[in-house]
Amino acid sequence: MNEYLFTSESVSEGHPDKIADQISDALLDEIIRQDIKARVACETYVKTGMVLIGGEITTTAWVDVEEITRNTINNIGYINSETGFDANSCAILSAIGKQSPDINQGINHSDPLQQGAGDQGIIFGYATNETEVFMPAPITYAHLLVKKQSELRKKNILSWLRPDAKSQVTFKYNNGNIMGIDTVVFSTQHKENINQNILREAVMEEIIKPVLPKKWLTKNTKFFINPTGRFVIGGPMGDCGLTGRKIIVDTYGGMSRHGGGAFSGKDPSKVDRSAAYAARYVAKNIVAAGLADRCEIQLSYAIGIAEPTSIMIETFRTGKLSNKVLINLVRDIFDLRPYGLIAMLDLLQPIYFQTSVYGHFGREEFPWEKLDKVDALSQ
């Protein structure tokens, strides 16, 4: 018997770090919509009453930074000072420069297939067959909880909900198999006058129970709903927010290793983002092909060099083939050069705002989730 607990967390679109991610990716999408050759590294900082947007952007596109930023904040739900942040009156500051020509000369190439990586980096991808979406259960259900909160808030079903929320789910495992849910933590921002008993009952009945499978809930499952007893001050008024500070929420909830590079605000020439999507694509197809129950892949790149400098695969003793054989299959079937993976996954399209909340993986609408390499891997 090898019993253990594993916990993952997620945050809602109204969390300050996620506000920053959404603004960065909203700007990226509008730039890509006009200029697929753009080089974008857009960082956002939010705090009470202000938004600061910085980074390096080289493009022929013209975007209304202020309008996109205000619309993004407004759509999240911060529409007046009562919510702690007002899309209509917050100050918006810009400190955007251009990409260094030293970097640019290593990326641009007369032969697109020889396009070099935009920077050095280590990248991980992961997949597991413990859920239908080939993702770890803890992060999957943590995302679903905060997504449900947003749905109820926007439909005004629970009128006292505010945009900021966090979830945390602890699963109990035995020899890698899910035994049940041990603990659920859920905190949601709310209006001043809501009774906490009413809030806790509503969160349990309208958010937690509809989302979490009954088979994993027992009489011993612990629930902590707004455990401090009050969450009125939230969003940027409660904490400052920064692009790229929720990298574990964005990926596998800690179940897989992480190379450290964030995603939001970066165009696909940045392998921090595009190669992480490709690594997920590879790992998911390996697991879906039945070659392993769990698969983690590491890629590494050097700035200005097209081919990955290394590929590592770990299947945690669940592989049907040796790791060496799997690596050879990956090299034969997948093009992991920057231009190759951009073409393979059709990444030069404005899809990035959608990724900026509720996880970049395990969502079928994204091209890196397709399973079109299963047959090739199975042969």
| pLDDT at residue 309 tops 80 | yes
For residues 179-203, give the mean pLDDT. Answer: 96
> What is the pLDDT at residue 107?
60
- The confidence band for 116, taking pLDDT boundaries of 50, 70 and 90, is confident
Residue 231 marked as a ligand binder: yes
> What is the pLDDT at residue 85?
93
Q: Where along the chain do its domains lie?
A: 3-11+137-234, 121-130+256-261+268-378
75-240-184-77 Cα dihedral, nearest 10 degrees: -10
For residues 238-260, give the mean pLDDT. Answer: 97
Residue 245 marked as a ligand binder: yes
Q: Which candidate, 339, 342, 291, places its Cα nearest to that of 113? A: 339
CA–CA dist 182, 180 (Å, integer):
6
- The confidence band for 56, taking pLDDT boundaries of 50, 70 and 90, is very high
Residue with tokens 């995603």: 263
> What is the pLDDT at residue 103?
52
Q: In CATH, which of 3.10.400.10, 3.30.70.3420, 3.30.300.10, 3.40.120.10 is domain 3-11+137-234?
A: 3.30.300.10
- Tokens standing for 348? 């030069």
CA–CA dist 9, 184 (Å, integer):
10
Which amino acid is it at 353?
F
> What is the pLDDT at residue 235?
87
CA–CA dist 88, 192 (Å, integer):
22
| Residue 208 CB contacts under 8 Å (≥ 6 apart), including other chains | 145, 184, 186, 223, 225
- The confidence band for 240, taking pLDDT boundaries of 50, 70 and 90, is very high
> What is the pLDDT at residue 285?
99
Residue 230 marked as a ligand binder: yes
Residue 164 marked as a ligand binder: yes
| pLDDT at residue 343 tops 90 | yes
158-159-164-167 Cα dihedral, nearest 10 degrees: -10
Helix axes 271-288, 338-345, angle to 10 degrees: 60
Residue 43 marked as a ligand binder: yes
Q: What percentage of the chain has pLDDT greater than the value 70?
A: 96
> What is the pLDDT at residue 109?
56
CA–CA dist 192, 313 (Å, integer):
51
Domain 121-130+256-261+268-378 in the same topology as domain 3-11+137-234: yes
Residue 246 marked as a ligand binder: yes
Residue 266 marked as a ligand binder: yes
CATH number of 121-130+256-261+268-378: 3.30.300.10
Residue 56 marked as a ligand binder: yes
| pLDDT at residue 157 tops 80 | yes
- Tokens standing for 260? 């450290």
CA–CA dist 341, 125 (Å, integer):
14
pLDDT tens digits for range 68-95: 999 999 999 999 988 889 999 999 999 9
Q: Which candidate, 87, 55, 53, places its Cα nearest to that of 70? A: 87
What pTM value is reported for the model? 0.95
Residue 99 marked as a ligand binder: yes
Q: Which residues pair with 126 in a beta bridge?
A: 296
Residue 262 marked as a ligand binder: yes
